[in-house]
């Protein structure tokens, strides 16, 4: 009896000591599984990231480098410009690489029956998907950091360096068949060959602030350009037309064989330093949105006050005519009615505000797409039984092109119309999310 009791006690002690060992084994197996699936996804993501970087975006860098190198800029400065431009180029690489990389990784696991083996071992699909979605969340954070921190910082560094290069080599801004805006002047150029610029058109204002148009058959950059902070253009066969702003319909016409035209370098550098909404941080964008909304509200209020005043004046005119018993002055009434109609139909919009709202939503939608795309990629990869990485790569490219088209169309419509910025930017994400949800439902019913 004593021996049996001892055996029971030993057996109980053995069971108690086995439980933590079993838990450790489960944790170890989950860790191994997590690392294995994550490693597969990271490998596919890295390959696709390089693909998108070199195929879709590197061409812009090469064109920039070729253009700048042709103006005798130091190779070291060109390399720095390329580095500063990288965040501007890879903004779309994270979500697209997450989508295609996820499809390729899951496709490879399905093609080699590894997911089937994992499920046979009692591992649920949500455990297999956990490392993929965890990495997708990390990639989304990196994409947000790249768009909100690296892109503005890189753009400011790029502009600062470009300004330094511009002061030492102003010819950098004089490109063939281009239109450049420098504060209150616009310069359009034709063919550039051997230092000569053909078909130059300049729109600016004279010393009396009258609008002026200057046409020249060709121009040559002064050899002493940049001295004194001024670019000097020697224009040939010049025709100048100045419109008198005080007397409408009056123009001053003049011509000359040669004309010296000066451009302040600080005007060019100010144009270079202006940041587009895409190159600003979310904090800066929100500040601009707040300011422009206040301005738009004031403009709307001012227009409504004008409408109210015109309605009051028109009513007073009708009342005065009625009380006096005189015939209505048709010309005066018609003029007031036309003013009232114009004020009521006036389209008060701020295109810059709309652009900032679009970029605000895009800076959030693109990082969010890293996770949303995987909600489509995982079930799509699981349901694809054959083809492995190759079929996943093909499906991923097709979905990327569709998403790009929706994003481009939405942004274009958002700028040109009153389409809600939220709808314009998030439509692509919602379509992919709906498709992924549908695939998850199909997979759960099998």
Determine whether 425 is exposed, middle or buried from the number of CB atoms within 10 Å of its CB (0-12, 13-18, 19+): buried
Mean pLDDT value across residues 137-162: 89
Are residues 160 and 202 both part of a single domain? no
Are residues 163 and 209 both part of a single domain? no
Residue 17 pLDDT more than 70?
Answer: no
Rounded Cα–Cα distance for residues 224 and 205 (Å): 25
Are residues 56 and 78 both part of a single domain? yes
Q: Considering 225, 246, 273, which residue would you say is the last residue of a domain?
A: 273
- Model confidence at 66, in pLDDT bands (50, 70, 90)? low
Rounded Cα–Cα distance for residues 250 and 252 (Å): 7
56 vs 53, 60, 150, 184, 425, CA distance in Å?
6, 8, 20, 36, 21
Contact criterion met (CB below 8 Å) for 310 and 343: yes
Q: Which residue has the higher pLDDT, 71 or 146?
A: 146
pLDDT of residue 224: 55
Residue 165 pLDDT more than 80?
Answer: no
Rounded Cα–Cα distance for residues 247 and 431 (Å): 57
Are residues 97 and 125 both part of a single domain? yes
In a domain, 223, yes or no: yes
Rounded Cα–Cα distance for residues 351 and 416 (Å): 8
Q: What's the total number of domains in the chain?
A: 3
pLDDT of residue 12: 41
Nearest to 231 by CA among 195, 188, 272, 260: 260
Contact criterion met (CB below 8 Å) for 152 and 276: no
Residue 16 pLDDT more than 50?
Answer: no
Residue 270 pLDDT more than 50?
Answer: yes
In a domain, 404, yes or no: yes
Are residues 239 and 315 both part of a single domain? no
Residue 28 pLDDT more than 90?
Answer: no
Per-residue pLDDT reduced to its tens digit, 85-109: 888 778 888 999 999 999 999 988 9
pLDDT of residue 373: 95
Nearest to 133 by CA among 122, 144, 125: 125
Judged by average pLDDT, the poorest of 30-39, 282-291, 304-313, 372-381 is 304-313
Rounded Cα–Cα distance for residues 85 and 63 (Å): 12
Mean pLDDT value across residues 141-163: 88
The dihedral of CA 332, 335, 340, 343: what is its sign? Answer: negative
In a domain, 15, yes or no: no
Q: Is 408 helix (H, G, I), strand (E, B) or coil?
A: helix
Residue found by looking up tokens 């700048």 in the block: 68
Rounded Cα–Cα distance for residues 274 and 162 (Å): 12
Residue 419 pLDDT more than 70?
Answer: yes
Mean pLDDT, the chain, as a whole number? 82
Contact criterion met (CB below 8 Å) for 186 and 180: yes
In a domain, 283, yes or no: no
Are residues 150 and 99 both part of a single domain? yes
Q: Considering 301, 325, 345, which residue would you say is the last residue of a domain?
A: 345
Q: Is 444 helix (H, G, I), strand (E, B) or coil?
A: helix
Are residues 363 and 439 both part of a single domain? yes
In a domain, 2, yes or no: no
Q: Considering the chain, what percentage of its residues have pLDDT values greater than 90?
A: 30
307 vs 293, 313, 334, 339, 349, CA distance in Å?
21, 10, 15, 9, 17
In a domain, 376, yes or no: yes
What domain range includes position 105? Answer: 23-168+355-446
In a domain, 9, yes or no: no
Max mean pLDDT range (29-38, 180-189, 272-281, 305-314): 29-38
Per-residue pLDDT reduced to its tens digit, 302-323: 888 888 888 888 788 777 777 7
Instruction: Provide the token pair at 299.
Output: 């403009």
Residue 247 pLDDT more than 50?
Answer: yes
In a domain, 281, yes or no: no
Are residues 82 and 180 both part of a single domain? no
pLDDT of residue 13: 39
Nearest to 364 by CA among 57, 11, 95, 35: 95
Q: Which residue has the higher pLDDT, 38 or 60?
A: 38
Residue 417 pLDDT more than 70?
Answer: yes
Can you say how many angstroms the Cα of residue 108 is from the centroid of all Cα atoms in its chain? Answer: 33
Q: Which residue has the higher pLDDT, 15 or 250?
A: 250
pTM of the model: 0.74
Are residues 143 and 240 both part of a single domain? no
Q: Is 248 helix (H, G, I), strand (E, B) or coil?
A: coil
H/E run at residue 252: strand 251-264
Q: Considering 243, 273, 303, which residue would you say is the last residue of a domain?
A: 273
Are residues 222 and 326 both part of a single domain? no
Are residues 164 and 200 both part of a single domain? no
Q: Which residue has the higher pLDDT, 352 or 70?
A: 352
pLDDT of residue 41: 94
Rounded Cα–Cα distance for residues 372 and 355 (Å): 24
For 403, what's the count of Cα atoms within 13 Å in the CB-facing half-sphere?
29
Are residues 112 and 225 both part of a single domain? no
């Amino acid at each position: 009896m004593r021996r049996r009791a001892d055996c029971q006690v030993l057996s109980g002690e053995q069971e108690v000591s086995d439980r933590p060992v079993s838990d450790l084994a489960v944790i170890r197996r989950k860790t191994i599984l997590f690392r294995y699936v994550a490693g597969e996804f990271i490998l596919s993501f890295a390959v696709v990231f390089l693909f998108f970087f070199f195929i879709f975006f590197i061409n812009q860098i090469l064109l920039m480098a070729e253009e700048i190198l042709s103006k005798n800029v130091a190779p070291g400065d060109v390399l720095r410009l390329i580095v500063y431009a990288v965040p501007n180029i890879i903004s779309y690489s994270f979500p697209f690489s997450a989508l295609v990389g996820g499809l390729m990784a899951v496709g490879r696991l399905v093609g080699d029956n590894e997911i089937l083996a994992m499920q046979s071992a009692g591992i649920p699909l949500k455990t297999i998907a956990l490392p993929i979605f965890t990495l997708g969340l990390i990639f989304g954070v990196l994409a947000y950091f790249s768009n909100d921190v690296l892109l503005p910082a890189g753009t400011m560094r790029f502009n600062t360096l470009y300004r330094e290069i511009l002061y030492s080599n102003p010819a950098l801004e004089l490109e063939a068949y281009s239109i450049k805006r420098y504060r209150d002047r616009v310069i359009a150029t034709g063919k550039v060959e051997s230092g000569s610029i053909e078909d130059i058109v300049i729109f600016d204002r004279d010393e009396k602030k009258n609008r002026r148009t200057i046409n020249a058959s060709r121009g040559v950059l002064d050899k002493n350009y940049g001295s004194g902070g001024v670019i000097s253009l020697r224009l040939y066969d010049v025709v100048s037309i100045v419109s008198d702003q005080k007397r409408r319909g009056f123009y001053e016409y003049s011509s000359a064989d040669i004309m010296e035209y000066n451009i302040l370098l600080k005007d060019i550098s100010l144009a270079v330093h202006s940041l587009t909404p895409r190159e600003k941080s979310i904090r800066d964008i929100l500040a601009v949105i707040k300011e422009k909304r206040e301005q738009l509200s004031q403009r709307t209020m001012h227009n409504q006050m004008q409408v109210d005043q015109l309605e009051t004046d028109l009513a007073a005119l009708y009342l005065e005519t009625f009380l006096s018993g005189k015939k209505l002055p048709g010309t005066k009434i018609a003029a007031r009615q036309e003013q009232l109609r114009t004020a009521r139909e006036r389209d008060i919009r701020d295109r810059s505000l709309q652009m900032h709202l679009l970029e605000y939503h895009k800076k959030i939608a693109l990082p969010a797409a890293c996770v949303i795309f995987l909600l489509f990629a995982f079930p799509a990869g699981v349901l694809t039984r054959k083809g492995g990485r190759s079929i996943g790569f093909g499906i991923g490219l097709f979905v990327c092109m569709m998403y790009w088209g929706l994003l481009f169309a939405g942004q274009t419509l958002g700028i040109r119309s009153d389409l809600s910025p939220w709808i314009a930017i998030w439509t692509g994400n919602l379509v992919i999310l709906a498709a992924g949800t549908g695939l998850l439902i199909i997979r759960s019913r099998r």
